[in-house]
Structure 1
Amino acid sequence: MNKKLIMGLPALLMLLFIGCEKKYQSPAHYENDLFSDEHQEGKAYIMNEDECFEGSELVIASSSVKLADSSKGRGKSFFLYKVGSGKVLKTVRDSTVETPMLFLSPYKLKLKNNDSMYVYLKKLEGYRLIARDRNLKYQWLKGASVYPVKKK
């Protein structure tokens, strides 16, 4: 009888421990979202004109911005825009900016024909191969929208 008890007791204890639910192993049970009121899925934050100007390294007012090339349909989409001429309103890196110049945008900009617009740019991050090939230095500021130049 002692042999059966000694052999059966570990098996019984194993079944008992396997059957117990451990709540601490499920992190979703203890999850508390501290920023639940700030989640807005599907809505991108769009900066206003002042935020765009402050966040940019180069701001140009131009009426000659055109789509030069795109990679749509060939991997990760990006668009190359050409600024023919314009007035430099702010620069952080370069004292002079040569035009015409190209800049990269990860998304297609809504350009209006023959309207002057502000071009908000920052230093190009990534895209090393195309930057060397096309002499790119700048990319469109993320979160910036296309704002028309205000007539004074």
Structure 2
Amino acid sequence: MKINMYTFRILYCIPVFLLFFISCEKEYKSPNYYKKDLFEDERHEGEAYIMNKKECIDGSDMVLVSSDIKLVDSSSGRGRSIFIYRLKSGMTEKTTRDSVVTYPLQFLSNQRLKLKKDSMYIFLKKLNGYRFIAEEKKLKYQWLKSAPVYTVGTESK
């Protein structure tokens, strides 16, 4: 009778063990095989948009030409990087806001500009945000976002 009871328990345990080992087996080894990218044509990683000179002039509130530009202050670390540049003198190419520009003029940029010794175009837009820095440094303009530095006499590539 005792032997019959043990075989009865073993017979019930075998299917439980079989179910346990079968259910633990992985159906697939690589989840990337089943992944489908729905926006494959629209993704362009590593490509930055660079505006040409005409787009920069059209998009800016003020365009100046100068070779007298200097980095005055910069802030990096916490938050976004900020660079403040000073223009000692220059020539106005386009303006929509101020008819008279007083020098020295300071402006803010979110990117570090590759300054050159030659005369270059400075594309400026009305300063948005940065209220406390604007009051302290007397800033009115910021560099046009995604605009590169163009020297006078060179065209866009």
TM bucket (normalised to shorter chain) is 0.7 to 0.9
2:107 aligns to what SS in structure 1? Answer: strand
Determine which of 90, 93, 106 is the counterpart of 1:102.
106
| Residue 127 (structure 2) pairs with residue 124 (structure 1) | yes
CA distance in 2: counterparts of 1:38 and 1:120, whole angstroms: 30
Please list, as runs of the form range in 1=range in 2, the aligned pairs for 1:23-102 lying within 5 A after superposition.
32-33=38-39, 36-102=40-106
Q: Give the C-alpha shift of residue 44 in structure 1.
A: 1.6
Match of 1:133 in 2: 136
* Identity within the alignment, %: 56
Q: Structure 1 residues 42 and 101, CA, compared in 2 at 3 Å: closer, same or farther?
A: same
CA distance in 2: counterparts of 1:92 and 1:38, whole angstroms: 36
1:51 aligns to what SS in structure 2? Answer: helix
Which protein shows a greater Rg?
2
1:139 aligns to what SS in structure 2? Answer: strand
CA distance in 1: counterparts of 2:47 and 2:105, whole angstroms: 31
1:129 aligns to what SS in structure 2? Answer: helix
CA distance in 2: counterparts of 1:76 and 1:50, whole angstroms: 28
Q: Give the C-alpha shift of residue 143 in structure 1.
A: 1.2
Count of residue pairs the alignment pairs up: 120
Cα displacement string for residues 102-138 of structure 1 (whole angstroms, at most 9, x for unaligned residues): 00000100012x2110000101111100001011010
Cα displacement string for residues 68-112 of structure 1 (whole angstroms, at most 9, x for unaligned residues): 100023542110001110000000111111111100000100012
2:80 aligns to what SS in structure 1? Answer: coil
Counterpart residue identity of residue 56, structure 1: S
Structure 2: 5+ residue stretches without partners? 1-34
Counterpart residue identity of residue 44, structure 1: A
